[in-house]
Amino acid sequence: MSSDKIKATRTVALVGHGGSGKTSLAEAMLFNAKAVDRLGKVDEGTSVLDWEPEEAKRGGSISASFGHYAFNKHNVNLVDAPGDDNFLSDAASVLRAVDGVVMVADAIDGVKVQGEKVWQYVDAEGLPALVVVNKMDRERADFETAVNMIPDMLGIKAVRLQIPIGAAESFQGVVDLLANKAYTFDGGKMTIGEVPGELADAVAEAREVLIEDIAEADDTLMERYLEGEELTADDLAKGLAKGVSDRLFLPVAAAAALKNMGVQPVMDLLNRLLPSPLERGAVKGVKPDSEDEEIREPDAGAPFSGLVFKTVADPFAGRLSMVRIFSGTLTSDMQLLNPNREAKERFGQLYVQTGKTQKSVSEALPGDIVAIPKLKETHTGDTLCTVGDPIQYPTIEPLPAVISYAIEAKEKGDEEKVFAGINKLLEEDPTLRLDRDPQTNEALLSGMGSVHIETTLDRLKRKFSVEVNLKTPKVPYRETIKGSVRVQGRYKKQTGGRGQFGDTWLEISPAEEGEGYVFLDEIVGGAIPRQYIPAVEKGIAEAMQGGVLAGYPMVDVKVRLVDGSFHAVDSSEMAFKVAGSLGFKKGAVQCKPTLLEPIMKLVVMVPEDAMGDVMGDISSRRGRVLGMDAKGSLQIISALVPMSEVLTYQPELTSMTGGRGAFTMEMDHYEEVPGDVQAKIVEAYEQAKEEGN
């Protein structure tokens, strides 16, 4: 009985670019299966799945949401993944938890850059998929153009299972090429009929192409097809399923999800073509604390194991851990092992979620996605398993952040509440990062984009009643020297009692790049007693922290302490510390000091028609293009650009490319700041000093 249930289970993610209509498709699926009693609409704020206030405000998904329904004797676990670049990491992590994918493109724009990016993660997981060309009811809808984009953008053959009946205002439904039947829709109700006469020739031609594509997926079928033998409906169904399973092609359907047109056939295709946990097969992990491979079969009788692929901060149930079950049976009375934390966990209830609605269940089987409340030690990416038979699955690594803002509490005294709240949100969203820059002493909140950061702060305000100010972060410039000098650092202070005296001679010169601060004690003959030399070194180190040009730390400087003198009574560690500091500051000014700036490695992915604008913009930012590469219809530009020029690059790239561009950025190295730019930085520093800032 359990194996039959697992065989009839489908665990599927809806993915695609933001605005393609994934949530509308999921809403229609849930409505058709009677899992919800109304057809929710994103634009009207009535969506079951986009239930967070921030999603209603922005009219789109910012976080993966979950639904469950039964349709045609199948139980479907549905994950609606966000498509916006700002929340792409959430989409990437849920792909670890599913067995198949419905890729949603739209009939106006086809597959956009964000869709191509999420497809890379689908590819990496080796997930079988089908494509739905959505929004066939919209003006400028063009099914053929959208389908023809798929091989270029996703690198895989597209196979039409349907052709639409009309488009835009005249869209009525679809023709199923294998069944040779027309499915038309009125108010969401589907009627099955004959192929319209005006489409008969086009359907016959498309059907022949489809049969040939299916035959190519199986050598035996291909041989029979070439010998002129007619393939049966059963032959074609098996060949189609094999082609999807082996990822030889992507079957394509058409729909207008907002009007619930074409959705029921998609639900049927999902059941027929995407695999069950049994068909996906065993999952590999390792034995904790070793590299020995462990295998778990999707069997209800096997030892339990699952992966926590997402954490949700629920306002009522507290923290919810979303778990995909890979093996065994999970019940609420079990004690589980978290091998990542070497901790044991107990819990009282299991839930399945549809939007924000939770339904308590007594047990869950392989393929199921369940929510476990209030696990004490467990975080996103952790494995949960049977205590006596442990296994550990690969962790989920969040995508690197691409933008950072300096943050400070809006109200004085709220600092502790702000950082406590952000740390709670970090548990829910691993792509967020909170750091403190040791050089600028700013608290930096980093994320996947400006919208990601703004949404995080909206949630911080709603959940924890605190607000923050966002600022562009200070650039962590550094100072260094290009020349050498021999200089005296002398400190003499005489008061009524004991005085202060320290005398040093320093030779200051550039060190090798990356060496930092090199101090060499070359005192001979006891010119300075040994106990004072560490104080000289410390005084120089402290002086280096404030720089000599614009207040930035100095790096790659070599200082030789070569001579000096002392006073038997008035010398002290403090005196020699001050003498070293004074000598360094006086000498560094004479050593051709210069500013260094951080240089970022920037990789930008843009459509070809935007490449000229983007490259021109990079040059205007003092960037150097390292190379270009093509991937499908995308151009990939690699460049080195000063950090100061790309602090707000994300919204500016979005504006330049109409939302079709994407980028990654990481620190590469430091370089000398050009003279004209350096002069402006020093001038701004001097002015700020005069104003007392």
State the CATH number of the domain containing residue 422: 3.30.70.870
Q: Which residues of the chain have pLDDT under 50?
A: none
- CA distance linking residue 260 with residue 603, whole number of Å: 40
Q: Report if pTM > 0.75.
A: yes
Residue 500 sits in a domain whose CATH number is 3.30.230.10
Does residue 398 fall inside a structural domain?
no
**Separation of alpha carbons 402 and 687, rounded Å:** 32
Q: Which amino acid is at 497?
A: G
Nearest C-alpha neighbor of 571 from the set 579, 581, 563: 579
Query: Does 109 map to a domain?
Result: yes
Strand order in the sheet with 181-186: 162-165, 173-176, 181-186, 189-193
Contact at 8 Å (CB) between 55 and 18? no
Give pLDDT, residue 56.
59
Listed residues 541, 567, 591: the one ending a domain? 591
For residues 56 and 174, membership in a common domain is answered with yes
pLDDT tens digits for range 643-670: 999 988 888 888 888 777 778 888 899 9
Residues whose CB is less than 8 angstroms from the CB of residue 309 and which lie 6 or more positions away in sequence, other chains included: 93, 94, 96, 97, 322, 323, 324, 380, 381, 396
- Within-domain flag for 692: no
CB 477 within 8 A of CB 597: yes
Check residue 60 and give its pLDDT: 62
Considering the domain boundaries, does residue 119 fall inside one?
yes
Please indicate, yes or no, whether residues 458 and 427 belong to a single structural domain of this protein: yes
DSSP string for residues in 309-355: EEEEEETTTEEEEEEEEEES-EETT-EEEETTTTEEEE-S-EEEEET
HSE-CB for 629 with a 13 A CA cutoff: 8
DSSP conformation class of 11: E
The answer to whether residues 313 and 319 touch, using CB atoms and an 8 Å cutoff, is: yes
User: Does any domain span residue 394?
Assistant: no
Q: Do both 55 and 190 map to the same domain?
A: yes
Are 618 and 601 in contact by the 8 Å Cβ rule? The answer is no
Diameter over CA atoms, the chain: 115
Residue 372 included in any domain: yes
Residues with Cβ within 8 Å of 681's Cβ and at least 6 positions away in sequence, in order, are 477, 550, 595, 673
Round to whole Å and give the CA distance between 302 and 645: 56
3-state secondary structure of 564: strand
- Together in a domain, 119 and 169: yes
Residue 264 shares a structural domain with residue 145: yes
Q: What share of the chain is helix, strand, coil (3-state, %, to 5)?
A: 35, 35, 35
- 293 & 270 share domain: no
The number of distinct structural domains making up the chain is 5
Instruction: Mark whether 460 and 484 lie in a shared domain.
Output: no
User: Would you say 505 and 564 are in contact if contact means Cβ atoms under 8 Å apart?
Assistant: yes
Residue 574 φ/ψ, nearest 5 degrees: -60, -45
Residue 136 belongs to domain with CATH number:
3.40.50.300
Provide the 3-class DSSP secondary structure of residue 568: coil
Tokens (6 digits) for 352? 């399945």
Give the whole-angstrom CA distance, residue 384 versus residue 306: 5
Q: What is the distance of C-alpha 37 from the center of its chain? A: 34
Examine the fold and report which residue of 471, 505, 526 is the final residue of a domain before the chain moves on. Answer: 471
The answer to whether residues 505 and 466 belong to one domain is no
In a domain, 257, yes or no: yes
Q: DSSP string spanning 36-89?
A: SSS---TTTT--SSS-SHHHHHHTS-SS-EEEEEEETTEEEEEEE---SGGGHH
Q: Express each pLDDT in 140-164 by its tens digit.
A: 999 999 999 999 888 899 999 999 9
Supply the range of the domain harboring residue 662: 598-677
For residue 307, give the CATH number of its domain. Answer: 2.40.30.10
The CA distance from 510 to 508, in Å, is 7
Residue 587 lies in a domain: yes
Contact 49, 36 (CB under 8 A): no
DSSP 8-class letter at 526: T
Write the CATH number for 671: 3.30.70.240
Side chain identity, residue 168: A
Among candidate residues 537, 562, 591, the one where a domain is terminated: 591
137 vs 256: CA distance, rounded Å = 6
The verdict on 485 and 587 lying in the same domain is yes
Strand partners, 487: 506
Q: Which long-range contacts (CB under 8 A, 24 or more apart) does 347-350 make?
A: 347/372, 347/373, 347/374, 347/375, 348/373, 349/373
SS3 160: strand
Looking at the fold, whether 94 and 154 belong to one and the same domain comes out as yes
pLDDT for 460 equals 85
- Do 623 and 651 sit in the same domain of this protein? yes
Residue 200, pLDDT score: 94
Domain co-membership, 273 together with 238: yes
Q: Can you tell me the distance from the alpha carbon of 206 to that of 596, in angstroms, rounded to the nearest whole number?
A: 62
